[in-house]
Structure 1
Amino acid sequence: MDERAHTLLKTLVERYIADGQPVGSRTLSRASGLELSPATIRNVMADLEELGLIASPHTSAGRIPTARGYRVFVDTMLTARPVNLDTMPADVASVRDQLQPDQPQRVIAQAAQMLSSLSHFVGVVTAPKRAGVFRHIEFLRLGDKRVLVILVTPEGDVQNRVIFTARDYPESELVEATNFLNTHYAGLAVDEMRLRLRSEVDALRADIATLMQAAVQAGSDAMADGADQVVISGERNLLGVQDFGQDMGSLRKMFDLFEQKTELLRLLENSSRAEGVQIYIGGESGVVPYEQLSVVSAPYEVDGRIVGTLGVVGPTRMAYERMVQIVDITARLVGNALSQR
């Protein structure tokens, strides 16, 4: 594209995002600031349409951007600037105090609500990936050959698992096993515990070895239960989006996407391997195959390590510059909140 076509495409995308109406040549002439005749603008529009960057709805003489047009706009025309946490927009600052670092799971739920509230679309956040390391393990007797295993992670998450034993264990033996585990195995990953247990089991008393094996299995189960958890907030916001309101088929597909979560998790997992904010427009991600949807996502870090991903899911007609700022700020706020633990 030459500079003239570049300017007209940028103007058209911005006007359509703002108004939601097909943009005609007269509007483009006024909004672009270019001294061009209506005939010249129509010729440029025809060229842009031939390139697949804009399209003409049947009911209007105006044009709207295609997914490809949005991609060109995002890649070459977007001017989103990093936002300092100390000078963030007032609406973001007003809700940042929601992220209280008392419990990681609460932070994740609050972050999803915050993304939804600020974007007016759907907020999605994956829970922090657990490293499978335990700071503390404890056994409590429940009676009837049942023992409660309490697992505490370095982040302060607590997992409880009830195990069934071949015999009743008195409290003294459970205390002994607890002390032994925390002295020799605390801070190890579950897989490391399993490997060490295989090599040391012959040297351990049979009752302690049995409890340790049960503890390792309980730890593996706890990690499996917490894997790939995603929190979604604001799905109903899409009901009010002009682009979807009359298309019940698209709405059903989108709500299936949020209910099943598998495709979203794959997309967010891909995003966690990239740096900074990522923008997926229409079906180009190959994971969320809906031309009407865009996803703006970013990984978040705890103590310098990427542990999860968050983002906004909404229509392709979204204010991308603002969404980038919302996602970027929220990712940093979540990382800060979880790092305070």
Structure 2
Amino acid sequence: MSKVSSIAMSDRAQQLLKLLVERYIREGQPVGSRTLARGQGVDLSPATIRNVMADLEDLGLVKAPHTSAGRIPTVQGYRLFVDSLLTVKPLQPAEVRALQAKFEQAADPQQVLVTASALLSEISSMAGVIMVPRREQPTVRQVEFIALSGNRVLVVLVLDGNQVQNRMITTSRRYSPAELTQAANYLNHALAGKDFTKVRDTLLREMRETQESINQLMLMAIEIANRTFKAGEEGGDYVLAGHTNLMGYAEMADIDRLRQLFEAFNRKRDILHLLDQAAHAQGVQIFIGEESGYEVLDACSVVTSPYEVDGEVVGVLGVIGPTRMAYDRLIPLVDVTAKLLGAALNQQQ
């Protein structure tokens, strides 16, 4: 968030910052004082505007790229603009009906997700991303470890409803069948009847509380269980559409930057973590540049909104694009699409 309050700025400084950001978003070129002087409703001389621009630059809200005489917004400038100066343009009823019709054509929940990401990408000309709904974590009734060749272990999980899951893990060393039986007995006694998340949290808490007196059995059980639950988390996923659209933006034309971004899409972990943060927030969230916490997204903004099924948040959708994006249009687009996605998934249950 910007440390500069719009209240502390003069009206003309706010007006000029708003005009500059809007012009830069629209044209993608540094904005000079003479250009702003010709702006609608501006009755200031270029010299006065230059003084205001210098003040905005001192506040960290704009900057002059290279040796250009014009200025562009910084992350802080965008944040102040989005939080205090932006006028959102709601979608027209006809636009909402058109989006809704697309969802009604989807035959199954997976197609609903694909439709949502494609719509976000198509309308925004950026990347549309949907976090796949999180499944409820099952409760573990019993666990069994079976030694395989090398350091590999087959994990057999018996869940509520007598559902059985098998997972293959690789441990840091080879465990004997007797050691694996001991570890399974320890876990079954201490942790039975808890979901995966609570199992992991309990293990980590016990490890912290008993670090000095921790015994080899607990260490062994913790390692095997931790690898088991990590294997289960690999199923986390998202549906992505239109990421190649980002190649069309001049500010993202750096090949190395794009390569790193596409690698992040393929790796998924960082993007999923960012979406997961948004899932715990209310309504539309906007991460501008380095606010995401991931260097690979420093030139991007991410606009997200959680979506609900049966009144509970099950995932997040959003748009990823350059910081120079039309926030006034994308915010309502993401918000409405999230509501339509939730409604479509509810109907398909």
Mean alpha-carbon deviation: is it higher for 284-293 or for 70-79?
A: 284-293
Per-residue deviation, 1:58: 2.2
Residues 44-71 of structure 1, C-alpha deviations (whole Å, 9 max, x = no match): 0011111111111225211111111101
Per-residue deviation, 1:19: 0.8
Describe the SS at the equivalent of 1:31: coil
Percent of paired sites with the same residue: 49
Matches within 5 A, 1:1-341: 1-80=9-88, 83=91, 87-88=92-93, 90=95, 93-100=97-104, 102-132=107-137, 224=232, 227-245=235-253, 247-287=254-294, 289-341=296-348
Residues 111-136 of structure 1, C-alpha deviations (whole Å, 9 max, x = no match): 111110111000010111112579xx
- Following the alignment from structure 2 to structure 1, what is the Cα–Cα distance between the partners of residues 308 and 164? 26
Per-residue deviation, 1:226: 7.9
- Following the alignment from structure 1 to structure 2, what is the Cα–Cα distance between the partners of residues 264 and 32? 40
Give the gaps of 5 or more residues in structure 1.
Answer: 135-150, 154-158, 164-188, 193-219
Tell me, yes or no, if the aligned pair for 1:263 and 1:288 is still in contact at 8 Å: no
Mean alpha-carbon deviation: is it higher for 36-45 or for 98-107?
A: 98-107
Kindly tell me the number of residue pairs found equivalent between the two proteins: 261
Please, what is the CA RMSD of the aligned residues? Answer: 2.9
Residues 261-282 of structure 1, C-alpha deviations (whole Å, 9 max, x = no match): 1111011000000000000000
Q: Which amino acid aligns with 1:112?
A: S
Residues 295-327 of structure 1, C-alpha deviations (whole Å, 9 max, x = no match): 000000011110000000000000001110110
- Following the alignment from structure 2 to structure 1, what is the Cα–Cα distance between the partners of residues 232 and 267? 18
Moved over 6 A (4+): 159-163
- Following the alignment from structure 2 to structure 1, what is the Cα–Cα distance between the partners of residues 86 and 58? 23
TM-score by length of 1: 0.70
Tell me, yes or no, if the aligned pair for 1:281 and 1:295 is still in contact at 8 Å: yes
TM-score by length of 2: 0.68
- Following the alignment from structure 2 to structure 1, what is the Cα–Cα distance between the partners of residues 263 and 166? 34
- Following the alignment from structure 1 to structure 2, what is the Cα–Cα distance between the partners of residues 339 and 130? 15
- Following the alignment from structure 2 to structure 1, what is the Cα–Cα distance between the partners of residues 237 and 164? 18
Q: 1:275 to 1:191 in 2, by over 3 A?
A: closer
Q: 1:290 to 1:229 in 2, by over 3 A?
A: closer
Q: Which amino acid aligns with 2:100?
A: R
